[in-house]
C-alpha cells in the first residue's frame, strides 16, 4: 500500500514509472465509459451508495457484508431492495471488460489514430491497462474487489487486430455515398 502522502497523480506516475500522466488520465476517464457500456447509466441510488461508502470508508465488499447482515441504515437498505436488489447495485467491471471498454473509448476519441496515441504513452498491450489500474489501486485511488487480479488484464486482445483491423473492417462495411452524375 502506498504511503498516505503519496496520493497525487504526479506521485502515482513517478511510482509506476512506465507511463506518462496522459495514460493515467485516459484510464481514469475511460473507466466510467466502460462501466456505462456494461451496466447502463448511473442512477441517483448509485451515487448515494458511493457517498455512503466514502463517508463510512468502506468498499463494495464491506457494503455487501453490511447489507446481507442487515447492518445498513434502513433508507439505504430499502433503496437497494426497491432498485432490484444487491446484484443491480454493484457496477464492477472485470479486467477483460475494462480492456474492451478502453479500446472502444479510445476508438471513439481518436478513430484510426487510437493505437498510435496509446503506443505513444507506452500502452502496447492490455497488460499495460492493468498496470495503470493497479497503480491507482496501490494508491487507493481506485478499488478492486476480491478476486480481481492484474492477470485479468493479460492478453485480452492484440492491439493491431483490435484497433487497426477491426476499425478498417467497420469502415469497409459502412454504407458508401455515391456521387451523383450530372
pLDDT in tens, the chain (182 residues): 444 444 788 999 999 999 999 999 999 999 999 999 998 888 888 888 888 888 888 877 788 888 899 999 998 888 888 777 877 777 889 999 999 999 999 999 998 899 999 999 999 999 999 999 999 999 888 888 888 999 999 999 999 999 887 667 767 777 766 555 54
How would you label 111-150 residue by residue, b for 16+ Cβ within 10 Å and e otherwise? Answer: eeebbebbeebebebbbbbbbbbbbbbebebeebeeebee
Dihedrals phi, psi of 60, to nearest 5 degrees: -60, -40
Helix (H, G, I), strand (E, B) or coil at 159: helix
Please tell me the pTM assigned to this model: 0.77
Q: Name the nearest CA neighbour of 107 among 65, 166, 152.
A: 166
Which residues touch 117 (CB under 8 Å, ≥6 apart)? Answer: 106, 109, 110
121 and 22 in contact (C-beta within 8 Å)?
yes
In whole angstroms, give the CA distance from residue 42 to residue 46.
6
Amino acid at each position: 500500500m502506498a504511503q498516505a502522502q503519496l496520493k497525487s497523480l504526479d506521485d502515482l506516475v513517478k511510482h509506476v514509472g512506465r507511463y506518462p500522466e496522459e495514460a493515467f488520465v485516459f484510464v481514469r476517464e475511460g473507466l466510467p465509459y466502460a462501466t456505462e457500456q456494461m451496466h447502463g447509466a448511473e442512477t441517483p441510488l448509485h451515487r448515494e451508495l458511493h457517498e455512503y461508502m466514502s463517508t463510512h470508508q468502506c468498499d463494495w465488499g464491506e457494503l455487501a457484508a453490511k447489507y446481507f447482515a442487515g447492518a445498513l441504515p434502513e433508507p439505504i437498505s430499502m433503496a437497494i431492495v426497491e432498485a432490484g436488489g444487491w446484484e443491480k447495485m454493484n457496477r464492477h467491471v472485470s479486467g477483460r471488460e475494462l480492456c474492451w471498454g478502453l479500446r472502444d473509448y479510445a476508438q471513439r476519441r481518436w478513430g484510426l489514430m487510437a493505437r498510435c496515441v496509446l503506443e505513444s504513452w507506452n500502452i502496447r498491450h492490455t497488460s499495460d491497462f492493468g498496470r495503470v489500474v493497479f497503480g491507482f489501486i496501490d494508491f487507493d485511488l481506485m478499488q478492486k474487489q476480491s478476486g480481481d487480479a492484474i492477470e485479468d488484464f493479460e492478453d485480452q486482445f492484440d492491439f493491431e487486430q483490435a484497433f487497426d483491423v477491426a476499425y478498417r473492417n467497420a469502415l469497409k462495411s459502412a454504407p458508401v455515398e455515391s456521387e451523383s452524375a450530372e
